[in-house]
Amino acid sequence: MSVGVIGAGAWGTALAQMLASDGRDVLIWAREAELVAEINSARTNSLFLPSATLSDTIRATGDLGEMAGLDALLVVTPAQHMGSVLAAMPDHPRDLVLCSKGIEAGTGRLMNHVARDAAPGSAIAVLSGPTFAHEVAAGLPTAVTLACAEGEEQWDRIAPLVARQAFRPYFSDDVTGAEIGGSVKNVLAIACGVVDGLGLGQNARAALIARGYAEMLRFGEALGARAETLAGLCGLGDLVLTCSSTSSRNFSLGKALGEGRKADELMADRKTVAEGAHTAPVLVELAARHAISMPIVTAVYDLLKGDEPRAVVSALLSRPLRAEQGSAE
């Protein structure tokens, strides 16, 4: 099967490098003409993944038409642009593997719904889990959830395409759960960064991860995700990774907020996308629509609107005491 990657940011480039590790040809699409030229001539991506020297079997293109003829595509665009990029393609492959973590602003659609509408003839899968791009590109051991909307038949087709000695997918058919885990954890990672930036300590971070995971479960189950999916690599696993390291763009954004920098300045200054900043307001809206209590997610939204970090934390800590288990906050 022929394979390509749509999106040459850090994660897309790392996935292309992983796919090429067995010697296969990999086509990667980039929007920037200068990046296409750099990948093809220098075998580097100095803009998004400067640590990697790319395989000779990776070829970059700026033509979406070239991607349409492949058997399978890993879609790694920023979540808010996935729909427009897929809609711009003249045709679509049999399998689309969605690797972007987010929820579409304005519509509240998960990425698998966006992809189904843009490419109704393609089978949809979601690849998600605890993955730092630079580690995947370096060939360090990584495990992910590969959720296949068409079940084991689709898994049998695409798992051999992405599995490598150091890149191990695990089967699921819960695409909703796989998506929600990654989307919610991006917002929670911002909160953990704020805790770090304010110097609130390891106890506070651990509490936030646990209570944030409770919010992820409530939201996911309300939208049809399975709890066991969110307890796996794409939920709890991803949450643990990105809530404790400045290698996470979302954690780094939160840390800067906690240190006193302004949200609008930080967002304007970032060449890479911290998806959690775009997901937070959508989550708050969906949580209100479904009557789901998500106080930590709401606090992140308040911080991104410009509220003072210590005041937001104080408000969180001042909420009424309650039982640990249950649907209330």
| pLDDT tens-place string over residues 304-319 | 999 999 999 999 999 9
The token pair at 31 is 């929007």
Cα 149 to Cα 32: distance, rounded to the nearest angstrom: 32
Nearest alpha-carbon partner for 16 in 121, 155, 129, 167: 167
Amino acid identity, position 215:
E
The token pair at 287 is 């949580």
Cα 219 to Cα 181: distance, rounded to the nearest angstrom: 10
Mind listing the pLDDT tens digit of every residue in the chain (329 residues)? 999 999 999 999 999 999 999 999 999 999 999 999 999 999 999 999 999 999 999 999 999 999 999 999 999 999 999 999 999 999 999 999 999 999 999 999 999 999 999 999 999 999 999 999 999 999 999 999 999 999 999 999 999 999 999 999 999 999 999 999 999 999 999 999 999 999 999 999 999 999 999 999 999 999 999 999 999 999 999 999 988 888 889 999 999 999 999 988 888 866 666 889 999 999 999 999 999 999 999 999 999 999 999 999 999 999 999 999 875 55
Cα 95 to Cα 315: distance, rounded to the nearest angstrom: 46
Where are the domains positioned within the chain? 3-173, 180-317
Strand pairing report for 95-98 and 26-29 = unpaired
The token pair at 176 is 């909703």
Residue 90's Cβ-count burial label (10 Å; 0-12, 13-18, 19+) is exposed
Helix (H, G, I), strand (E, B) or coil at 320: coil
Strand pairing report for 142-148 and 123-128 = antiparallel
Which one from 101, 185, 262, 305 is the annotated catalytic residue? Answer: 185
CB atoms within 10 A of CB 236: 20
Look up 271 and say whether it is catalytic: no
Residue tagged 């296409």 (tokens): 36
What's the CATH fold of domain 180-317? N-(1-d-carboxylethyl)-l-norvaline Dehydrogenase; domain 2 (1.10.1040)
Superfamily of domain covering 3-173: NAD(P)-binding Rossmann-like Domain (3.40.50.720)
Amino acid identity, position 91:
D
Cα 252 to Cα 254: distance, rounded to the nearest angstrom: 5
CB atoms within 10 A of CB 92: 18
Cα 102 to Cα 10: distance, rounded to the nearest angstrom: 16
User: 324-327, long-range: CB within 8 Å, 24+ apart, which pairs?
Assistant: 327/218, 327/293
